[in-house]
Amino acid sequence: MDFDIPADIRAYLAELDSFIEREIKPLERENIQYFDHRREHARTDWDNDGQPRKEWEDLLREMRRRADKAGHLRFALPKEVGGKGGSNLAMAIIREHLAHKGLGLHNDLQNESSIVGNFPVVHLLMNWGNAEQKQLIEGCITGENRICFGLTEPNHGSDATWMETTARKEGGDWIINGAKRFNTGMHHATHDMVFARTSGKAGDALGITAFLVPIGTPGLKVDFFWWTFNMPSDHPEVSITNVRVPDSAILGGEGRGLLVAQNFVHENRIRQAASGVGVAQYCIDESVAYARNRKVFGKALSSHQAIQWPLAELNTECEMVRGLVYKTAWHLDRNNHLEVSDWVSMANYRGNRLACNAADTAIQVHGGIGYTRHKPFEHIYRHHRRYRITEGSEEIQIRKVAGHLFGMMGSQKKAEAAE
Domain chopping of the chain, boundaries: 7-125, 147-251, 258-418
**pLDDT on residue 274:** 96
Catalytic residue among 23, 391, 416, 419: 391
Q: Please tell me the distance from the alpha carbon of residue 182 to that of residue 233, in angstroms, as a whole number.
A: 9
**pLDDT on residue 336:** 85
Residue type, 317: E
Q: Which CATH architecture has domain 147-251?
A: Beta Barrel (2.40)
- In order along its 419 residues, the chain shows pLDDT tens digits of 788 999 999 999 999 999 999 999 999 999 999 999 999 999 999 999 999 999 999 999 999 999 999 999 999 999 999 999 999 999 999 999 999 999 999 998 778 899 999 999 999 999 999 999 999 999 999 999 999 999 999 999 888 899 999 999 999 999 999 999 999 999 999 999 999 999 999 999 899 999 999 999 999 999 999 999 999 999 999 999 999 999 999 999 999 999 888 877 777 888 999 999 999 999 999 999 999 999 999 999 999 999 999 999 999 999 999 999 999 999 999 988 888 899 999 999 999 999 999 999 999 999 999 999 999 999 999 999 999 998 889 999 999 999 999 998 754 444 444 33
**pLDDT on residue 408:** 84
Could you tell me the fold of the domain covering 258-418? Butyryl-CoA Dehydrogenase, subunit A; domain 3 (1.20.140)
Please enumerate in sequence order all residues whose Cβ is within 8 A of that of 269, keeping only pairs 6 or more positions apart, or say none.
344, 345, 347, 348, 391, 392
- Whether 73 and 64 have beta carbons less than 8 Å apart is answered as yes
Residue type, 304: H
**pLDDT on residue 410:** 57
Give, in degrees to the nearest 5, the angle at Cα 99 between 294 and 317.
70
**pLDDT on residue 359:** 98
Q: Please tell me the distance from the alpha carbon of residue 158 to that of residue 151, in angstroms, as a whole number.
A: 9
Q: Please tell me the distance from the alpha carbon of residue 201 to that of residue 80, in angstroms, as a whole number.
A: 40
Cis previous bond, 218, omega within 30: no
**pLDDT on residue 411:** 46
What three-state secondary structure class fits 180? strand
Q: Is 411 exposed, middle or buried (0-12, 13-18, 19+ CB in 10 A)?
A: exposed
How many other C-beta atoms are found inside a 10 Å radius of the C-beta of residue 272?
Answer: 25
- Whether 349 and 388 have beta carbons less than 8 Å apart is answered as yes
**pLDDT on residue 368:** 96
Q: What is the model's pTM?
A: 0.93
391 is catalytic: yes
